[in-house]
Amino acid sequence: VDADSVRRATLDLADDELDELLASAARLAAREIRATRDGPVFSAPPALHAVAATVGANELPQEGEPLEDVLAACATLLDAGRRTAPGFFGYVLSPPAPVGVAADLLASAADQNVTAWRSAPAATEVEHQVVRWLGQFVGFASDATGLLVGGGSAANLAALLVAVGNRAPTAHRAELVVYASSEAHFSVAKAAGVLGVQFRSVPATDEYQLDVHELAASIRADRAAGHTPLCVVGTAGSTATGAVDALEAIATLADIEGLWFHVDGAYGAPAASHPAHRSLFAGLDRAASLSIDAHKWLYAPVDCGALLFADPDASARAFATAAGDYVRVLGHDAGETFAFWDHGLELSRRFRALKVWMSFRHYGARRISEAIADDIDIARYMAALVDEDDAFELLAPPGLSVCCFRHVPAGVGADMLDAHNQRLLGAIQRDGRVYFSNATVGADFGLRACITNFRTTRSDARQALDVVRELASWDET
């Protein structure tokens, strides 16, 4: 062998080792998918010291160990994690559709850095296509432009930057005002803070929707005080109760007032794909920008958020580096000169689009939409079970796939109910068979179930409530 064709150090594997590694990883991935399907949420009740012991407090390893040992350690690690099993009702988390898991592995293998067409031509085209598909899926636009980002928080931040770039590029940031309802996700206020613009939390109605009259009054008051209203964020599926704002009315007011209209559909927008739920989202097609999290209700593995625009030039006005240049780029020879860095915050970007693309191609939009509608049906079923049990109380009517309730046992005074439900939630989370997160609805603390799991059934919902009853009675003694 020619000495110059050999390196002292390479990280490559021999062909047979490579095949063995990938076969082992595939077996482990399949085991993980089955464990997520079958539950429980935690193999053992999670405790800090036990998890830390599993990870181990080793020194930086100077020398390597055999792959089979590393894979065995990996299997133990995965077992110490939380699984989005059918008994997991917390937050807004979906298990990944198996096709998405395979897609993420392939995206890593191909490792396209999706900065621009020149760097990653096929991945760039796939991302354009996925963005268009998402726009069609939810009825936003048939030819949406935009990009994929890490999630809803990143999408909301970029959306506000684009609002500034399009409506008030030269204004003093501190004079600009962004509006969203008190039920909006905290990432909106956070984004406003990062940008140095003002944030107004507009009161919500009894239906947890942004109160459009309050919004109009707030805009008037701000103008009178010399501030510049910039943008209103409508929430299409609030995280706490699943409420969808009155998007049509907000769009009309935004038009009259000349405000950028962004819709935060990170959680809820995919439900607009289903004929039975579409009407809730009327006005979505009038938004200038829209956030959708594919890693929530499109069942993609984290991370994958999308930010869509109605105007193909909107994002470049905020992000294009060479001022004026983007016009030429977006003109006649747009395709090959296209660069995502002119449309968003990141330069290096993972090939996130592949998992959404493979999922739409394999399952088809109709089946994904049916899975979403099933989730909503199960949330309503759970709410009905809660409603017919005197020991439970619904905190809000079910919105989309969210059901918020609390335990109200006879003999526990109204002033003790928050403490009782906090204790109960702690007991449920320590027990590990099922998982709820918390919600404060109005002033009341309760348990929140969100169903964004294509495997969850009515029977899972029933059994989860049985576990709550069991742990609640234990808690009372």
Ligand X SMILES: *Cc1c(COP(=O)(O)O)cnc(C)c1O
Closest residue by Cα to residue 24 from 55, 54, 66 = 66
Give whichever of 188 and 468 is closer to ligand X, judged by the CB atom.
188
Q: What is the phi/psi pair of residue 283, to 5°?
A: 100, -10
- CB 137, min distance to ligand X, A: 17
Where in 218-237 is the site for ligand X (CB under 6 A)? 235
Give whichever of 247 and 471 is closer to ligand X, judged by the CB atom.
247
- CB 50, min distance to ligand X, A: 27
Q: According to the binding rule CB under 6 A, does residue 452 interact with ligand X?
A: no
Closest residue by Cα to residue 243 from 210, 219, 278 = 210
Q: What is the phi/psi pair of residue 149, to 5°?
A: -135, -175
Q: What is the phi/psi pair of residue 278, to 5°?
A: -60, -40
* DSSP 8-state secondary structure symbol assigned to residue 405: E
Q: What's the rounded Cα separation, in Å, for the pair 88 and 464?
A: 9
- CB 227, min distance to ligand X, A: 25
Give whichever of 185 and 355 is closer to ligand X, judged by the CB atom.
185
Q: What is the phi/psi pair of residue 392, to 5°?
A: -120, 160
Q: According to the binding rule CB under 6 A, does residue 300 interact with ligand X?
A: no
Q: According to the binding rule CB under 6 A, does residue 95 interact with ligand X?
A: no
- CB 142, min distance to ligand X, A: 24
Per CB under 6 A, which region of 5-13, 133-141, 263-271, 441-449 contacts ligand X?
263-271
187 CB neighbour count, 10 Å cutoff: 21
Q: What's the rounded Cα separation, in Å, for the pair 104 and 429?
A: 30
Identity at 426, one-letter amino acid code:
G
Binds ligand X by CB under 6 A, chosen from 83, 128, 167, 185 = 185
181 CB neighbour count, 10 Å cutoff: 27
- CB 208, min distance to ligand X, A: 12
Binding mask 143-172 for ligand X (x = CB under 6 A): --------xxx-------------------
C-beta separation of 246 from 209 below 8 A: yes
Count of H-run helices and E-run strands, the chain: 16, 11
Q: According to the binding rule CB under 6 A, does residue 239 interact with ligand X?
A: yes
- CB 159, min distance to ligand X, A: 11
Give whichever of 158 and 434 is closer to ligand X, judged by the CB atom.
158
Tell the residue number behind the tokens 């459009």, with chain if given. Answer: 212
Q: Which two tokens stand for residue 251?
A: 């769009």
Give whichever of 103 and 148 is closer to ligand X, judged by the CB atom.
148
Binding mask 13-52 for ligand X (x = CB under 6 A): ----------------------------------------
Q: According to the binding rule CB under 6 A, does residue 112 interact with ligand X?
A: no
C-beta separation of 329 from 337 below 8 A: yes
Closest residue by Cα to residue 341 from 318, 310, 309 = 318
Closest residue by Cα to residue 86 from 131, 52, 121, 40 = 40
Give whichever of 39 and 152 is closer to ligand X, judged by the CB atom.
152
Give whichever of 266 and 310 is closer to ligand X, judged by the CB atom.
266
C-beta separation of 96 from 107 below 8 A: no
- CB 295, min distance to ligand X, A: 6
- CB 297, min distance to ligand X, A: 9
Binds ligand X by CB under 6 A, chosen from 208, 267, 351, 392 = 267
Q: Which two tokens stand for residue 139?
A: 């009825």
- CB 93, min distance to ligand X, A: 9
Pairing relationship of beta strands 228-235 and 260-264 according to DSSP bridges: parallel
Helices 48-55/67-79 angle, 10° precision: 170
Q: What's the rounded Cα separation, in Å, for the pair 96 and 355?
A: 10
Binds ligand X by CB under 6 A, chosen from 92, 120, 316, 356 = 92
- CB 75, min distance to ligand X, A: 28
Identity at 75, one-letter amino acid code:
A
Per CB under 6 A, which region of 262-270, 313-321, 378-386, 391-399 contacts ligand X?
262-270
Binds ligand X by CB under 6 A, chosen from 138, 192, 266, 471 = 266
Per CB under 6 A, which region of 22-30, 259-267, 375-383, 421-429 contacts ligand X?
259-267
Q: According to the binding rule CB under 6 A, does residue 183 interact with ligand X?
A: no
Q: What's the rounded Cα separation, in Å, for the pair 413 and 416?
A: 5
Q: What's the rounded Cα separation, in Å, for the pair 364 and 217?
A: 44
Where in 304-363 is the site for ligand X (CB under 6 A)? 305
Count of chain residues binding ligand X (CB under 6 A) = 13
Footprint of ligand X (CB under 6 A) = 92, 151-153, 185, 187, 235, 239, 264, 266-267, 293, 305
